[in-house]
């Protein structure tokens, strides 16, 4: 069954008020729902309440039991005569048997909910669509010893004890919301409390709820929450609106976190951190996700989505907001590099493969499959382009108008764009194409200099390749930040400005160009496009040393490396000298902050190199990349050792941008020292592994050791395992580091790890740590005998019976069949064919696998 955007119709019935009564029990929870329903418009259609999997015990209308209802595809259809009624249903569900982790489920002995996108229907009968907004009153009762804490959306109203060892609590949320934002949590939880005074002087009680033993790992998340609340006031004028804001961390969660009104529920990996167990990357991700979910209170909750095709309205905008927040907390340049690296690793391949879809899709079978890098990350790039085109002031005027006009409603992407258009007076007609057109635009740029004339001409052309279902594309609006440097003086020949490329071809003339100009383009990655230029290795090296836009400087170095690697993987003689010189210049440039320098000298990933090739050759890519790493390591041995020593932390562990930069440089230097093959590099890594006072240094050492000799690899893995065997989040790292290892035997190791006592498919983090990580290990996954493909398919088929949503997310590596040689492609397709034929396959998996075959 396919749902289409064009088929949208407003709801037949509204439900302005709902009261829910939960009699909680892991084996049998009873829910009585009282819905105040109102007929919307003039029609005689029955009330249709979505449902899935619950046992229906009773239905009444206006206080009278009725039985003239039917169940159709899980939904309860009830004929009603008047325009307003009170409907009461009682149902029973079994949270402990809910392995899909959608609806009400058990995790670590506690009970929690996840309703976005369509999980609420697994709890009770209700119009499960985001344009039905209701005020919620929630009452919960539960065993007091087992579930001493009872939380729901909004404010706590009352609580008390019952006589049978149970207790109850009641919560009211005054803000009308769609049911996907409903949440409750019942459990044995400890709380880290804080408080925040909003810009209008209201005090908000903050709480982060975790199991008691994790309490000391919640301080970073609480700090991040307060920083995010202040940031949204300062940057967007958005103030928090309830007296309470709670976050609960759970171990079993299908994705990162959820923005339920006043009660965010998080995957514990995005809350828990201390120096011994979390890396700098984890700390950054925690702050980003805490901020993201908090920002949803306005971009998502106060203004929600009319239908799920509008998902990027809240997700793209909120990712853009969290990216800007993170950029403000430390190195903005490094943050931008990380964002673009993420986009290229996940979204560009999606746009180039069988699952390509626009940020506002036209059709879906299962909406969970559309929580994608395109909706989220490309969506964020679209918002970023709007901010660039309008400028900061007009963009803010536009978002103010949007929040003001659509507060309390379910809006569309068009509402957002129209608000920005109206507030800024900028015509965004053509810009709207970004919402409907899939695929990554390719821009060619060549700069012609007419010596003696003082004139240079930039010739730009854009083309978006076809994607499934969209054979022909039209030009989009690309804001390209451009600057010209003089090759002799290294000075500015043309200052930075934004070129709006909106035609298929455009020529831009620069006057007064008296020396040969060098093009710096798409600075800051101002448009999410692939830029092809004819810049020489020498010009790229020049920009890598002189460009004053840090992103462009990074990009020039990456392009230089990429050109070298792609040529070598294609069988051409590789000259590593230019790359080595550029790397030496970068690490030796004392003016560069270490975090940036460390990022800038990392080689492009194997899969990104593959994305540049007509036919991906995983073995050749691995070989040429290792050869370049070895040469950079060898040629600059003393530089790496000096960089390693200089990055030695002074005093104990601190989490600060500077200290993070030093640790990053140590990790990169250690990697190059090991790549050089230096005899003592294993000892150096092992010494770091043992002496480390933090997870960042320990894990970077372990990553290096895992690539090396068994004499050090085996003890290091054992020590790490024994030290952290009671910490699930750290064990995930132990599984991942082995699944991502650049080794010949990685496939065997991963198959062996499947039988490890700590491996389970039923915890999504653990499944992703092993199976997900292996799927993106390009060389190991794509071994020629197809054993990697068979392994992934076997595991996804098994996982699908427990948790279809998490299984379906792991399909994309098999969808790359068109990118490889015919033999590999056929093996991948065979696995996809096998998956679609599995009896009882979920619609999540069926949609992903069948679309992957069509591509």
Tell me the C-alpha distance between 542 and 493, whole Å.
Answer: 15
For the CA atoms of 375, 380, 384, 389, the dihedral, rounded to the nearest 10 degrees, stands at 10
User: With left for phi above 0 and alpha for psi between -120 and 50, is residue 509 left, alpha or beta?
Assistant: beta
Taking CA 558 as the corner, what is the angle to CA 555 and CA 560, rounded to the nearest 5 degrees?
110
Residue 113 vs 277, nearer CB to Zn ion? 113
User: For ligand ARG, which stretch binds (CB under 6 A), given 80-88, 251-259, 395-403, 832-840?
Assistant: 251-259
Could you say which of Zn ion, ligand ARG, none residue 116 binds, taking C-beta under 5 to 8 angstroms by partner kind? ligand ARG
Could you say which of ligand ARG, Zn ion, none residue 564 binds, taking C-beta under 5 to 8 angstroms by partner kind? none
Is position 128 an interface residue for ligand ARG (rule: CB under 6 A)?
no
Residue 61 vs 117, nearer CB to ligand ARG? 117
Residue 216 CB coordination number (10 Å): 11
Among 257, 413, 776, 835, binds ligand ARG (CB under 6 A): 257
Is position 322 an interface residue for ligand ARG (rule: CB under 6 A)?
no
Residues 362-401 that bind ligand ARG (CB under 6 A): 368, 371
Token output for 2: 């396919």
Could you say which of Zn ion, ligand ARG, none residue 257 binds, taking C-beta under 5 to 8 angstroms by partner kind? ligand ARG
Residues in the interface with ligand ARG (CB under 6 A) total: 11
Residue 296 vs 698, nearer CB to Zn ion? 296
CB of 268 to ligand ARG, least distance (A): 15
Q: In what order do the strands lie in the sheet with 47-49?
A: 47-49, 75-78, 70-72
Residue 297 vs 558, nearer CB to ligand ARG? 297
Could you say which of ligand ARG, Zn ion, none residue 110 binds, taking C-beta under 5 to 8 angstroms by partner kind? none
The pairs formed by 722-725 with CB atoms below 8 angstroms and a separation of 24 or more are 724/277, 725/758
User: With left for phi above 0 and alpha for psi between -120 and 50, is residue 512 left, alpha or beta?
Assistant: left
Could you say which of Zn ion, ligand ARG, none residue 255 binds, taking C-beta under 5 to 8 angstroms by partner kind? ligand ARG
Residue 304 vs 520, nearer CB to ligand ARG? 304
The pairs formed by 791-795 with CB atoms below 8 angstroms and a separation of 24 or more are 791/747, 791/750, 791/751, 792/831, 793/831, 793/832, 793/834, 793/835, 795/754, 795/761, 795/767, 795/771
**Which residues share a beta bridge with 166?**
143
CB of 180 to ligand ARG, least distance (A): 8
CB of 295 to ligand ARG, least distance (A): 9
Residues 235-254 that bind Zn ion (CB under 5 A): none
CB of 799 to ligand ARG, least distance (A): 15
**Helical pair 577-588 and 537-546, crossing angle rounded to 10 deg:** 10
* Residue of minimal Cβ distance to ligand ARG: 371
CB of 286 to ligand ARG, least distance (A): 14
CB of 326 to Zn ion, least distance (A): 14
Residue 117 vs 521, nearer CB to Zn ion? 117
Residues 299-358 that bind Zn ion (CB under 5 A): 315, 318
Among 236, 255, 281, 721, binds ligand ARG (CB under 6 A): 255
Residue 217 vs 292, nearer CB to Zn ion? 292
Could you say which of ligand ARG, Zn ion, none residue 258 binds, taking C-beta under 5 to 8 angstroms by partner kind? ligand ARG
User: HEC profile for 259-322?
Assistant: CCCCEEEEEHHHCCCCCCCCCHHHHHHHHHHHHHHHHCCCECCCEEECCHHHHHHHHHHHHHHH
**Collapsed DSSP state (helix, strand, coil) of residue 330:** coil
Tell me the C-alpha distance between 673 and 282, whole Å.
Answer: 25
Tell me the C-alpha distance between 151 and 263, whole Å.
Answer: 8
CB of 117 to ligand ARG, least distance (A): 5
Residue 699 CB coordination number (10 Å): 24
Is position 258 an interface residue for ligand ARG (rule: CB under 6 A)?
yes
Q: Choose among 417, 411, 413: nearest CA to 133.
A: 411
Q: Choose among 495, 537, 521, 509: nearest CA to 450.
A: 509
**Helical pair 695-706 and 681-691, crossing angle rounded to 10 deg:** 150
Positive or negative CA dihedral for 45, 47, 50, 56?
Answer: negative
Q: Which residues contact 564 (CB under 8 A, 6 or more apart)?
A: 537, 574, 575, 576, 578, 579, 628
Residue 371 vs 846, nearer CB to ligand ARG? 371
Tell me the C-alpha distance between 564 and 629, whole Å.
Answer: 12
For this structure, is 96 an active site residue? no
> x/- string (CB under 6 A) for ligand ARG, residues 4-33?
------------------------------
Among 88, 259, 539, 617, binds ligand ARG (CB under 6 A): 259
Tell me the C-alpha distance between 670 and 748, whole Å.
Answer: 27
Among 76, 106, 117, 142, binds ligand ARG (CB under 6 A): 117
Residue 371 vs 820, nearer CB to ligand ARG? 371
Tell me the C-alpha distance between 384 and 527, whole Å.
Answer: 8
Is position 803 an interface residue for ligand ARG (rule: CB under 6 A)?
no
Residues in the interface with Zn ion (CB under 5 A) total: 2
In DSSP notation, 452-475 reads TTTEEEEEEEEE---BTTB-----
Token output for 104: 């009400």
Is position 116 an interface residue for ligand ARG (rule: CB under 6 A)?
yes
CB of 315 to Zn ion, least distance (A): 5
Quote the DSSP letter at residue 572.
Answer: P
Residue 309 vs 644, nearer CB to Zn ion? 309
For the CA atoms of 682, 686, 687, 692, the dihedral, rounded to the nearest 10 degrees, stands at 140
Residue 312 vs 712, nearer CB to ligand ARG? 312
> x/- string (CB under 5 A) for Zn ion, residues 209-228?
--------------------
Tell me the C-alpha distance between 245 and 262, whole Å.
Answer: 5
Among 131, 251, 284, 293, binds ligand ARG (CB under 6 A): 293
Which among 170, 293, 366, 421 is annotated as catalytic?
Answer: 293
Could you say which of Zn ion, ligand ARG, none residue 738 binds, taking C-beta under 5 to 8 angstroms by partner kind? none
Max Cα distance, the chain (Å): 95
User: For ligand ARG, which stretch binds (CB under 6 A), given 215-223, 255-263, 713-721, 761-769?
Assistant: 255-263
CB of 582 to ligand ARG, least distance (A): 38
CB of 131 to Zn ion, least distance (A): 18
Is position 315 an interface residue for ligand ARG (rule: CB under 6 A)?
yes
Q: Choose among 431, 374, 424, 434: nearest CA to 399.
A: 424
- Do residues 352 and 611 touch, judged by C-beta distance below 8 A? yes
Residue 708 vs 764, nearer CB to ligand ARG? 764
CB of 296 to ligand ARG, least distance (A): 6
CB of 264 to ligand ARG, least distance (A): 9
Interaction site with ligand ARG (CB under 6 A): 116-117, 255, 257-259, 292-293, 315, 368, 371
Q: Which residues are catalytic?
A: 293
Interaction site with Zn ion (CB under 5 A): 315, 318
């Amino acid at each position: 069954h396919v749902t289409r955007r064009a088929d949208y119709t407003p709801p037949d019935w509204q439900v302005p008020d709902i009261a829910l009564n939960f009699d909680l029990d892991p084996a049998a929870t009873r829910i009585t729902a009282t819905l105040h329903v109102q007929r919307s418009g003039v029609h005689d259609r029955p009330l249709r309440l979505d449902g899935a999997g619950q046992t229906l015990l009773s239905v009444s209308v206006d206080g009278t039991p009725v039985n003239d209802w039917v169940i159709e595809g899980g939904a309860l259809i009830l004929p009603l005569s008047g325009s307003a009624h009170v409907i009461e249903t009682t149902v029973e569900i079994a949270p402990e048997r809910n392995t899909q982790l959608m609806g009400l489920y058990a995790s670590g002995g506690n009970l929690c909910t996840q309703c976005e996108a369509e999980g609420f229907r697994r709890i009770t009968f209700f119009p499960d669509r985001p344009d039905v907004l209701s005020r919620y009153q929630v009452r919960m009762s539960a065993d007091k010893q087992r579930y001493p804490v009872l939380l729901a959306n909004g404010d706590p109203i009352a609580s008390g004890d019952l006589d049978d060892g149970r207790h109850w609590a009641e919560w009211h949320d005054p803000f009308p919301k769609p049911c996907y934002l409903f949440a409750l949590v019942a459990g044995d939880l400890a709380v880290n409390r804080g408080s925040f005074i909003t810009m209008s002087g209201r005090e908000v009680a903050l709480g982060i709820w975790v199991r008691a033993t994790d309490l000391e790992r919640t301080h970073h998340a609480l700090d991040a929450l307060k920083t995010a609340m202040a940031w949204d006031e300062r940057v967007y004028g958005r103030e928090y609106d309830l007296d309470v804001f709670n976050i609960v961390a759970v171990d079993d969660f299908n994705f990162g976190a959820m923005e339920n009104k006043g009660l965010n529920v998080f995957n514990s990996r995005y809350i828990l951190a201390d120096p011994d167990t979390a890396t700098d990357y984890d700390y950054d991700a925690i702050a980003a996700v805490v901020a993201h979910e908090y920002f949803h209170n306005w971009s998502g909750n106060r203004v929600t989505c009319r239908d799920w095709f509008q998902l990027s309205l809240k997700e793209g905008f909120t990712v853009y907001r969290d990216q800007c927040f993170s950029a403000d907390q430390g190195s903005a340049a490094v943050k931008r590099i990380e964002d673009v690296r993420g986009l290229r690793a996940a979204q560009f391949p999606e746009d180039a493969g069988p699952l390509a879809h626009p940020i506002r899709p036209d059709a879906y079978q299962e909406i969970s499959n559309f929580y994608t890098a395109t909706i989220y990350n490309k969506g964020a790039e679209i918002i970023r382009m709007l901010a660039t085109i309008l400028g900061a002031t007009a963009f803010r005027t536009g978002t103010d108008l949007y929040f003001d006009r659509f507060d309390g409603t379910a809006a569309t992407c068009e509402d957002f764009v129209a608000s920005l258009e109206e507030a800024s007076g900028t015509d965004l007609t053509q810009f709207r194409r970004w919402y409907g057109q899939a695929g990554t635009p390719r821009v060619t740029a060549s700069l012609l200099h007419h010596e003696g004339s003082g004139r240079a001409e930039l010739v730009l052309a854009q083309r978006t390749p076809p994607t499934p279902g969209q054979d022909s594309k039209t030009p989009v609006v690309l804001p390209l930040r451009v600057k010209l440097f003089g090759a002799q003086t290294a000075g500015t020949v043309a200052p930075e400005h934004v070129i709006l490329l909106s035609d298929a071809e455009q020529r831009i003339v620069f006057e007064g160009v008296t020396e040969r100009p060098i093009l710096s383009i798409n600075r800051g990655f101002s448009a999410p496009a692939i830029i092809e230029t004819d810049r020489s290795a020498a010009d790229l090296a020049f920009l890598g040393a002189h460009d004053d836009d840090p992103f462009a400087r990074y990009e020039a170095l990456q392009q230089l490396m990429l050109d070298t690697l792609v040529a070598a993987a294609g069988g051409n003689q590789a000259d590593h000298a230019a790359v080595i010189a550029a790397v030496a210049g970068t690490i030796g440039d004392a003016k560069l902050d270490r975090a940036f320098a460390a990022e800038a000298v990392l080689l492009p990933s194997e899969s990104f190199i593959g994305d540049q090739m007509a036919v991906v050759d995983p073995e050749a890519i691995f070989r040429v990349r290792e050869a370049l790493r070895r040469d950079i390591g060898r040629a600059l041995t003393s530089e790496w050792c000096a960089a390693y020593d200089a990055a030695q932390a002074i005093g104990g562990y601190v989490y600060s941008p500077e200290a993070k930069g030093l640790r990053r440089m140590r990790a990169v230097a250690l990697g190059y020292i090991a790549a050089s093959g230096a005899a003592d590099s294993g000892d150096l890594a092992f010494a770091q592994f043992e002496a480390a006072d933090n997870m960042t240094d320990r894990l970077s050492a372990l990553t290096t050791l895992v690539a090396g000799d068994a004499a050090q690899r085996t003890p290091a893995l054992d020590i790490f395992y024994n030290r952290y065997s009671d910490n699930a989040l750290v064990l995930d790292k132990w599984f991942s580091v082995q699944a991502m290892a650049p080794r010949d035997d990685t496939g065997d190791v991963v198959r062996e790890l499947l039988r490890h006592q700590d491996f389970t498919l039923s915890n999504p983090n653990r499944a992703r740590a092993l199976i997900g990580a292996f799927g993106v290990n390009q060389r190991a996954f794509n071994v020629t005998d197809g054993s990697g493909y068979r392994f992934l398919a076997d595991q996804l088929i098994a996982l699908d019976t427990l948790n279809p949503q998490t299984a379906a997310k792991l399909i994309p590596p098999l969808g790359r069949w068109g990118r490889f040689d015919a033999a590999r492609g056929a093996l991948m397709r065979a696995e996809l064919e096998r998956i679609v034929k599995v009896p009882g396959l979920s619609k999540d998996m069926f949609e992903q696998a069948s679309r992957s075959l069509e591509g």
